[in-house]
Structure 1
Amino acid sequence: MASKKNVCEVLLDSLHVAGARQLFGVTGDALNPLLEAIRGDERFEWIAMRHEENAAYAAYSQAALTGGIGVCAGTVGPGALHLINGLYNAKREGVGVVALTGQIGHKERSTNYHQEVNLEKMFDDVCAFQAVINSPEQMPRLAQIAIQRALIGREVVRIELPIDVTEEPVPNLRKHYHMVTEASAVVPPQSEIERAAEIINKGKKVAFFCGVGCRDAKDMIIDLAKRVKAPVAHTLKGKDIFDYDDGPVVGMTGLIGNPGGYHAVRDCDVLVMLGTDFPYEWFLPDGPEIIQVDCKVENVGRRASVTVGLVGTVKETLERLVPLVQDKSDDSYLKTHVKWAGKWLESMDKQGSLENDGEPLHPQLFAKAISDHAASDAVIAADVGLSTVWIARQMRLKGGRRLVGSFNHGSLGSGLPSGLGAVATDPKRQVWALCGDGGFGMAMQDFVTAVRYGWPLKVIVFNNSELGFVKMEMEVGGYAYNAEATHLVNPDFAEYAKSCGGDGVRVERAKDIMPAIKAAIDSDKPFLIDAIVTAGELVMPPHVSVEQAWGFGMVKIKEGILGLKGDHKQWDNWKEEIKAAL
């Protein structure tokens, strides 16, 4: 018997089985039949975004927070292409996103038709699978393949909907239909687990380095670290899993890490890497024995020379490893690094104290105040740039707090749309988007989307009128301050938020920080804090080499010479940096 459901309706059935309920996108021509199918389907909500890239970031955020899939959509040609950057972020973060794209009719293909783009070629690198629906009969099977890969494989997939196919009825639905919705655990061979246990048992200075793959195994890791007296360092993506209050946790390594985390990883004789593909190999040691546990074989040994590589999910691998590991009594290595981390944490709290009230304000004050007063289960959406530094150093994400952002792809402008995806997932959950002025400026058109749907998103814009992180990168690379490239001319962001129908406040004095944060928390509208902060804040890594110190000094000499030649913006830059340091 012929089905009465068309291609779009069958697609929605498959998405529903996989747990999707919202679609973020911008509609048009080829997607209009999909919107018509959604109109009469109470299972789904279409979230009308103002830019497709933001839709893809929102879908990423939803997938990251729920462990399910996110769905985004763009129509033919340019609408589909706008999705790509946000989809690359989903790919790099390892979450499952289904991108729905329209396409021109078949008879117009290869004629240079209006908005014609070969989307298969354009999406080939970002998508693990592309389901091009050329006939109605293909929809049930190809949709299942694509959605299962997104949900179970944590991959980005695309389903192409040509305008001349989308309204066609699907002639035969499959009699037996089962969508795989539960991922399987992966366990390494027992012999390799035993090898890893032998190495840990022989180690005198064992350290753990943990990433986002440890989310289901935190308690087991902390208990094992206590038994073997191992400091636990973690990546930025692991910050909402591990906290300094968790006994042996010593925090992050890397450029924005701290001395406790840096030296715990660098100075050990056995390093156990759990669920991390940390990309900065120069922060990893090359001398000690390294055990790496990861569910993806391509991650094992990619960054460092590994003694034992265990391909498995962290929780299930540790369940078999832990009984084989012997307790240790010497806790001197652990105590040293916990002490270093504690001293560093005290200094970060001091930097963020409201008593540190010099003007322009230090951005750390806002980050710490939000950390101290945000809800215990708040979602923090991080933009790329210096705002990420303040989250890493001044914020605590213990308890039920979560962190989303563009950590591997590193795309400016991701903070606001990641926050939108989070608040769309659960409007009752407190969500903060922490953005730089450069990042917010790239995505600010979708602040009005939060207004449209009545989402009480909290946004802070660290407004220093600079691409601050780029400025720092220039100086680290030996280049003098270049105001023409990094200086920004900004509007009053608080007034912009009000003009969109939300609310906001501009903060220039330390005494106004807490009232602004309280107003944001209490507001039932989207609320923006325009935080006027110094552009002179210097970010110091946990370890400064002689070469780095020399290079930074030479940059300052170059800037002085340029200032003497009449580039007065160099003196302004120096004044900002000196004021921030005092």
Structure 2
Amino acid sequence: MAEIVSEVLIERLAAWGVDTVFGIPGDGINGIMEGLRRHADKVRFVLVHHEEAAAFMATAHAKATGRIGVCLATSGPGGVHLANGLYDAKLDHAPVLAITGLQESSVLGTAYQQEVALDRLFEDVTEYNQVVMNPAQLPAVVDIAIRTAYARRGVAHLTVPNDVQIAPAHADPYQTVAPVRPPATSPVHLSPTVRPAEDDLRRAADILNGGRKVAILAGIGARGAGQLVEEAAQKLGAPIVKSLLGKMVVPDDSPYVIGGLGLLGTKPSEELMEEADTLLMLGTNFPYTKFLPEPGKARVVQVELDPTRAGTRIPTDLPLVGDVGVTLEGLLPLLDRKDGDHLRDYQERFADWQHAMAALESPERDPIAPQYLAHQLDVQAADDAVLCCDSGTIATWAARHWQIRGQREFYLSGTLATMAPGLPYAIGIQHAFPGRQVIAYVGDGGFAMLMAEFHTAVRYRLPIKVVINNNNSLGQILWEQMVLGFPEHGVRFGEPLPDFAGWASGCGGFGIRVEKPGEVAGALAEALAFDGPALLDVAVNPDEPPLPGKVTYEQAKKFAASFLKGQPNKASIATTLFKDKIQQLRG
């Protein structure tokens, strides 16, 4: 059997260490599917139900492993469906390679069926983007695509016409110049170790040593350097605030951590940003500038690997271009040890905040409080569990009630904040780590978008656990409308209720629905213990507000205005708010 171009593609992916491709077949990639069939011993193909899910799975695989994630879609609409997941990878800086098909080269530009110029469509989302028009191109462009995705922490895209996919391997019909021949050895990408100059480190130390109230903001760029971040906090007497993406950088039970920042953060974290005179930003490009110190109020040192991102959010006195871990190793010996009064003050404030949050986790509240569900998940999950979270109110409950301890990890669509990645994230990560407990913690709105992928988990015998925080509404939008001063509109799904548990059982997995607080703990334990994919659908209070850590006067005024304008569910919302306050006072 003569070797075809698609085999060269798959062999080159395997040489780069790719072992999994997520996607859906189609007539635009039949040649590539044949390449995968012939080399199924090297690269497995995971058949999904929607191309968007394939892109999410590739993104999650890349985030969790650090290795490139690969997704595959047919020409035209199949490739279009990848876009949302690819933007998730782009904005969260995950290395992903998208491969798509294209009509035969002889009909391109003739408005042929399903002809979409996917290279042009993906121009904004990609760091490398190439149409393969000659079999001799392929090995070199695969190498460049993967190398670029790694180096620039983003998306690469290759689109291959049908006729090129099945052409003889290494054919060169034009023979105008000698093709680039990649080395026969397995390629590798070595991330450079970037360390700031000694003079810059000393200047940074002078700024930090001169601060009286120092704060540390740690993001996902500090992953792997958590111990060094804590050592810096100890020396500087500085509380650590974490971005949501950086939640797993330092354990939540660290004596230096006072929670997250922003709408999903804590009151002590917001107060710290208001009072700090010095801020050390570590591996974060935190976008919500209104939660950062006012310009000129605090001196800022930012450690950032990408020099183009340094100083983009807040005026920065000294940007240090470097890897967070290597930079801290050089910076720590230069830091003076401060007294701990500033830190102790915030430790006390954070203890009060935790007390208030714990009061909302009560099992006595009916309807079920989403905080209680999140707390039970935190209590019962393994210490090495991986939580994959959706966007919306679900992210608030995870940020505040899911604790990073042991070897736990936490993933979500951080910057794009798209709905629906939770389930495909869990599938992608479970493929990468078959022995770990992987949980998709999702809302009903996000789950419904890609719920067919639960069937994918069953087919591949992936023991993921899906926990649905079901408020039968688009909860985050509901509260955003109210904070703007508008009565809610178009955000509650109403009757009839979809039977998500029945869907899980129909797929061949475990499914159960819970409507009473007393049923939550037992049902969750049963789902977590099930030997296979399991789904727990929990009816939570739809009127529980995901309030910011600190409610401003302007937010409260607009919230009240929405009631005066005819908020349709104001009685149940007011009752929930009253119960929340009573519960906190009791606690």
Deviation per CA, 1:120-148: give whole Å up to 9, x if none: 11000001111211000100111100011
Q: Distance in 1 between matches of 2:395 and 2:182?
A: 48
Q: Is the 8 A contact 2:473 2:491 kept in 1?
A: no
Matches within 5 A, 1:348-387: 348-354=357-363, 357-387=364-394
Q: Is the 8 A contact 2:368 2:517 kept in 1?
A: yes
1:534 is matched with 541
1:301 is matched with 311
SS state of the match for residue 123, structure 2? coil
Q: Is the 8 A contact 2:563 2:570 kept in 1?
A: no
2:406 is matched with 399
2:176 is matched with none
Let me know the Cα RMSD of the aligned residues. Answer: 1.8
Instruction: Give the partner amino acid of 2:200.
Output: E
Q: Is the 8 A contact 2:224 2:249 kept in 1?
A: no
Paired residues, number: 569
1:563 is matched with none
Alpha-carbon distance change, 575 to 266 in structure 1, aligned in 2, over 3 angstroms: closer
Question: Which runs of structure 1 show a deviation greater than 3 angstroms over 4 or more consecutive aligned residues?
Answer: 171-178, 484-490, 568-582
Instruction: Give the partner amino acid of 1:528.
Output: L
Matches within 5 A, 1:244-255: 244-255=252-263
Deviation (angstroms), 1:40: 2.8
Alpha-carbon distance change, 208 to 501 in structure 1, aligned in 2, over 3 angstroms: same
Deviation (angstroms), 1:569: 5.3
Matches within 5 A, 1:111-130: 111-130=110-129
SS state of the match for residue 365, structure 2? coil
Q: Distance in 2 between matches of 1:200 and 1:311?
A: 17
Given the two structures, how large is their TM-score scaled by the length of structure 2? Answer: 0.94
Instruction: Give the partner amino acid of 1:339.
Output: E
2:507 is matched with 500
Instruction: Give the partner amino acid of 2:459.
Output: R
Matches within 5 A, 1:31-430: 31-41=29-39, 42-168=41-167, 169-171=169-171, 173-175=181-183, 179-285=187-293, 286=295, 287-328=297-338, 330-354=339-363, 357-430=364-437
Instruction: Give the partner amino acid of 1:376.
Output: D
Q: Distance in 2 between matches of 1:468 and 1:47?
A: 33
Q: Is the 8 A contact 2:119 2:157 kept in 1?
A: no
Deviation (angstroms), 1:349: 2.1
1:13 corresponds, among 11, 14, 28, to 11
Instruction: Give the partner amino acid of 1:50.
Output: H
Instruction: Give the partner amino acid of 1:493.
Output: F
Q: Is the 8 A contact 2:27 2:74 kept in 1?
A: yes
Deviation (angstroms), 1:455: 0.8
Matched, 1:449 2:436: no
Deviation (angstroms), 1:175: 4.9
Q: Is the 8 A contact 1:77 1:117 kept in 2?
A: yes
Instruction: Give the partner amino acid of 2:351.
Output: G
Instruction: Give the partner amino acid of 1:21.
Output: D
SS state of the match for residue 236, structure 1? coil
Deviation per CA, 1:289-344: give whole Å up to 9, x if none: 0000100112111110100011111111112111111112x211111111111111
Q: Is the 8 A contact 1:467 1:488 kept in 2?
A: no
Q: Distance in 1 between matches of 2:543 and 2:267?
A: 23
Query: Can you give the 5+ residue segments of structure 1 that lack an aligned partner in the other structure?
Result: 561-567
Instruction: Give the partner amino acid of 2:250.
Output: F
SS state of the match for residue 360, structure 1? coil
Q: Is the 8 A contact 1:433 1:458 kept in 2?
A: yes
Deviation (angstroms), 1:395: 0.9
Instruction: Give the partner amino acid of 2:7.
Output: E
SS state of the match for residue 452, structure 2? helix
Q: Distance in 1 between matches of 2:350 and 2:251?
A: 11
Given the two structures, how large is their TM-score scaled by the length of structure 1? Answer: 0.94
Alpha-carbon distance change, 531 to 485 in structure 1, aligned in 2, over 3 angstroms: closer
Deviation (angstroms), 1:487: 3.2
Q: Distance in 2 between matches of 1:513 and 1:398?
A: 23
Identical residues among aligned pairs (%)? 35
Deviation (angstroms), 1:576: 6.0
Alpha-carbon distance change, 573 to 253 in structure 1, aligned in 2, over 3 angstroms: closer
2:475 is matched with 468
Q: Is the 8 A contact 2:127 2:155 kept in 1?
A: yes
